[in-house]
Amino acid sequence: MKPGYVRRFSPAERLLHWVNALGFFFLLATGLILYLPRLSMLVSRRQTIQYIHFWGGVAWLVALAAVVVLGGRRLLATARELDTFDGDDLRWLRGRGAPQGRFNAGQKINAVLTAAFAVLFGASGLLLWFGEQDTRFRFASTVLLHDGLMYVSLLLLVGHLYLALIHPATRHALRGMTLGSVDAEWAARQHAKWRPD
């Protein structure tokens, strides 16, 4: 590690993030082809795209599960961090400015929602797939849930990309998610309560 830098994200954490990101963009692209009439017509091979989207989704969930299993204890500790909100987190969420740990409260909420959405995307996707073949798996609201998740995820993603790529105070965080380490001074400013190993 470069002097003056501290490690923020472990290899397992970064792998989980990028497997999730890669899967999300792949499923967004193939999903939009299924969702938008204009695109479905351009591509036209709906059966093939549907197949790719479904098995892409299965592969995404399996890959996420594999990283979680391989990450083991290290990721369990991360999950514990994301689970815990202290008084400073709640003050920070109210916009009162309070020192934050390795994850700020917004990042915790984003991570928790992303994990819950993965479960819901998977469940509703399986129901859509099997519902087409067997009416017992068909619910009137499955499409609504799957589409709604897509819209909310897109909103979260736009905010996430803005903070990670554009916003001057936070965009340095991208380095942590790619190379693993961040500038120690930046960390002390943005994540004052975090004590890097």
Residues that bind other proteins (CB under 8 A): 34-38, 40-41, 44-48, 79, 82-87, 90, 108-109, 112-113, 115-117, 119-120, 123-124, 127-128, 131-135, 138-145, 148-149
Measured from the CB atom, the residue of 150 and 179 that comes closer to other proteins is 150
Measured from the CB atom, the residue of 34 and 177 that comes closer to other proteins is 34
**Minimum distance between the CB of residue 37 and other proteins, rounded to whole angstroms?**
5
Measured from the CB atom, the residue of 8 and 108 that comes closer to other proteins is 108
Q: Mind giving me the DSSP string for 114-179?
A: HHHHHHHHHHHHHHHHHHHH-GGG--TTHHHHHHHHHHHHHHHHHHHHIIIII-TTTTTHHHHHHT
Measured from the CB atom, the residue of 26 and 129 that comes closer to other proteins is 129
**Minimum distance between the CB of residue 19 and other proteins, rounded to whole angstroms?**
19
**Minimum distance between the CB of residue 176 and other proteins, rounded to whole angstroms?**
20
Alpha carbon 39 to chain centroid distance?
Answer: 26
Helix (H, G, I), strand (E, B) or coil at 5: strand
**Minimum distance between the CB of residue 171 and other proteins, rounded to whole angstroms?**
25
**Minimum distance between the CB of residue 138 and other proteins, rounded to whole angstroms?**
7
d(CA 122, CA 34): 17
Q: Are strands 5-7 and 181-183 parallel, antiparallel or unpaired?
A: antiparallel
Measured from the CB atom, the residue of 77 and 123 that comes closer to other proteins is 123
* Tokens coding 121: 């995307």
d(CA 131, CA 17): 31
d(CA 24, CA 68): 17
